């Protein structure tokens, strides 16, 4: 059957593919250290699960919600945004709305669909989440990438943003804390970003904040619109329960933005999925978000410990030049390009697939090739598995990196 040219341009999700391959090797009896995961390996907090149980009793939990989601929940999430970002409700009440979607990936699709015309350019900051370029292309947009490197802890320089601006630049996606680098951009970066935005009054910002609650290194993440409230009028904020409530499979995410954008997104959603999962929306509506903070304390401590082990291991193995301080989310970008092992490869091409394959086949460690995050010759590792297997996996990685 002849497929559409649109779908031919879309790549498979590499993380999904890798999980399949690791599972297959596991089934063949091999010990696999899976550092490729993008989710917390724990169950959601009991208070939330209890609310889901409770909502099972009601007819409405099984019926369509309004396309944008239940209104009390949308209001609650906007209020929560105002409280958690220290914004006055006056800035949002009446002018902002929220839309619940089937995961925040879906919210980002809807936002791009509402904003992008074919040929419009969208700035992505590499390393970026693998799905951004695919989503931009799906709507006919053109990704315009600004790179960063390990020496700057993968934080892009604002001056480089000016260089990619063209009359067709419509939006920029900022993801802090960042998947895959595991860092969040500092207050000074955000302040400088405000000044940059002031020079381009038509540029829209999609601020993907799905990891905002998972940071284990002070100061905590903050956002440009907190330093200049006027920028809220061209900001779309993306949030989810996937990471902070350890609920990736429940598929509930949301976007908050000025009303006009949300109503456009709602039109797209109304003609595609009709709306998000009613049961989970109702459970979230009933759930006290104050429980999230204590739930995440041991999670952060665990990631911090694994990150500290990584630092020590790299220092001991003379790989200090591959290290930077990760601060948030639950990832770290391994830069292969200056390790002894890399002498076998030519530096002018990308070998991240080859190297990740070797790591999986020879050492039993699954990582995600970094080229799909926009940085060649790197890989993403997740810092979430249990301490002992994490340490064993890192010992194997370090041995591999130092082998010529």
Q: Which residues bind ligand PLP (CB under 6 A)?
A: 38, 103-105, 129, 175, 179, 208, 210, 240, 242, 248, 253
Shortest CB 248 distance to ligand PLP, Å: 5
Residues 6+ apart with CB under 8 A from 346: none
Shorter beta-carbon distance to ligand PLP: residue 131 or 391: 131
Which position's Cβ is nearest ligand PLP? Answer: 103
Instruction: Give the orientation angle of helix 278-286 with respect to helix 71-84, to 10 degrees.
Output: 50
Min CB(105)–ligand PLP separation in Å? 3
Question: Considering beta carbons, is residue 68 or 104 the nearer one to ligand PLP?
Answer: 104
Smallest gap from residue 195 Cβ to ligand PLP (A) = 25
Those residues with Cβ within 8 angstroms of residue 165's Cβ, 6 or more apart along the chain or in another chain: 123, 200, 203
The string of DSSP letters for 98-128 reads EEEESSHHHHHHHHHHHHPPTT-EEEEESS-
Is the CB of 210 or the CB of 398 nearer to ligand PLP? 210
Beta-strand relationship, 331-335 and 169-175: unpaired
Q: DSSP 3-state helix, strand, coil percentages of the chain (rounded to 5)?
A: 50, 15, 40
φ/ψ of 123, rounded to 5, equals: -80, 130
Q: Which is nearer to ligand PLP, 132 or 225 (CB)?
A: 132
Nearer to ligand PLP, 150 or 237 (CB): 237
Q: Which is nearer to ligand PLP, 240 or 366 (CB)?
A: 240
Q: How far is the CB of 316 from ligand PLP (least distance, A)?
A: 31
Order of strands, sheet of 169-175, starting from the edge strand that comes earlier in the sequence: 96-101, 253-258, 235-240, 204-208, 169-175, 121-125, 142-146
Quote the least distance from Cβ 333 to ligand PLP, whole Å: 14
**How near is the Cβ of 207 to ligand PLP at its closest, in Å?**
11
What phi and psi values does residue 203 have, to the nearest 5 degrees? -75, 130
Nearest Cα neighbor of 205 from 251, 245, 258 is 258
Of 248 and 337, CB closest to ligand PLP: 248
Of residues 127 and 376, the one with the C-beta less far from ligand PLP? 127
What phi, psi does 350 have (nearest 5°)? -90, 135
Q: How far is the CB of 49 from ligand PLP (least distance, A)?
A: 18
* DSSP category for residue 402: T
Question: Which C-beta is closer to ligand PLP: that of 127 or that of 364?
Answer: 127
> How far is residue 147's CA from residue 164's CA, in Å, rounded to a whole number?
11
- Residue recorded with tokens 């990196």: 401
d(C-alpha 343, C-alpha 337), whole Å: 8
The minimum distance between CB 134 and ligand PLP, in angstroms, equals 12
Strands (E), 165-213: 169-175, 204-208
User: Of 339 and 378, which has the nearer Cβ to ligand PLP?
Assistant: 378
Report DSSP letters for 320-331, one per residue.
GGG-----BTTE
CB of 128 to ligand PLP, least distance (A): 8
Where does 199-238 have alpha helices with state H? Answer: 224-227
The nearest distance, CB 144 to ligand PLP, in angstroms, is: 18
């Amino acid at each position: 059957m002849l497929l559409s040219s649109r779908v031919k341009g879309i790549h498979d999700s590499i993380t999904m593919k890798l999980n399949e391959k690791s599972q297959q090797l596991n089934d063949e009896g091999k010990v696999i250290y899976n550092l490729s995961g993008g989710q917390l390996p724990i169950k959601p907090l009991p208070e939330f699960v209890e609310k889901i149980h409770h909502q099972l009793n009601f007819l409405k939990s099984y019926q369509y919600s309004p396309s944008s989601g239940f209104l009390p929940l949308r209001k609650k999430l906007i209020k929560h945004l105002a409280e958690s970002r220290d914004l006055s409700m006056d800035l949002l009440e009446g002018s902002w709305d929220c839309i619940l979607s089937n995961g925040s990936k879906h919210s980002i699709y809807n936002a791009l669909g509402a904003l992008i015309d074919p040929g419009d350019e969208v700035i992505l900051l590499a390393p970026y989440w693998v799905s951004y370029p695919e989503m931009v292309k799906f709507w006919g947009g053109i990704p315009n990438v600004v790179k960063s490197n390990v020496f700057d802890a993968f934080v892009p320089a604002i001056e480089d943003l000016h260089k990619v601006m063209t009359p067709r630049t419509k939006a920029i996606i900022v993801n802090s804390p960042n998947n895959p680098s595991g860092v969040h951009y500092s207050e000074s970066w955000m302040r400088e970003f405000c000044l940059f935005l002031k020079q381009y009054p038509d540029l829209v910002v999609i601020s993907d904040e799905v990891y905002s609650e998972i940071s284990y290194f002070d100061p905590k993440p903050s956002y440009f619109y907190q330093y200049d409230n006027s920028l809220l009028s061209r900001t779309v904020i993306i949030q989810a329960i996937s990471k902070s409530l350890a609920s990736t499979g429940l598929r509930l995410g949301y976007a908050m933005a000025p009303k006009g954008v949300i109503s456009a997104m709602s039109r797209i959603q109304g003609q595609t999925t009709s709306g998000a999962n009613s049961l989970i929306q109702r459970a979230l509506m009933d759930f006290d978000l104050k429980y999230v903070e204590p739930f995440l304390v041991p999670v952060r401590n665990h990631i911090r410990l694994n990150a500290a082990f990584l630092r020590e291991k790299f220092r001991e193995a003379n790989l200090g030049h591959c290290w930077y301080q990760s601060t948030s989310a639950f990832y770290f970008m391994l830069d292969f390009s200056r390790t002894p092992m890399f002498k076998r490869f030519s530096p002018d091409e990308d070998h991240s697939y080859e190297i990740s394959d070797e790591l999986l086949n020879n050492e039993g460690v699954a990582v995600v090739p970094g080229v799909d995050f926009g940085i060649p010759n790197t890989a993403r590792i997740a810092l979430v598995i249990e301490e002992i297997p994490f340490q064993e996996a890192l010992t194997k990685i370090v041995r591999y990196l130092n082998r010529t």
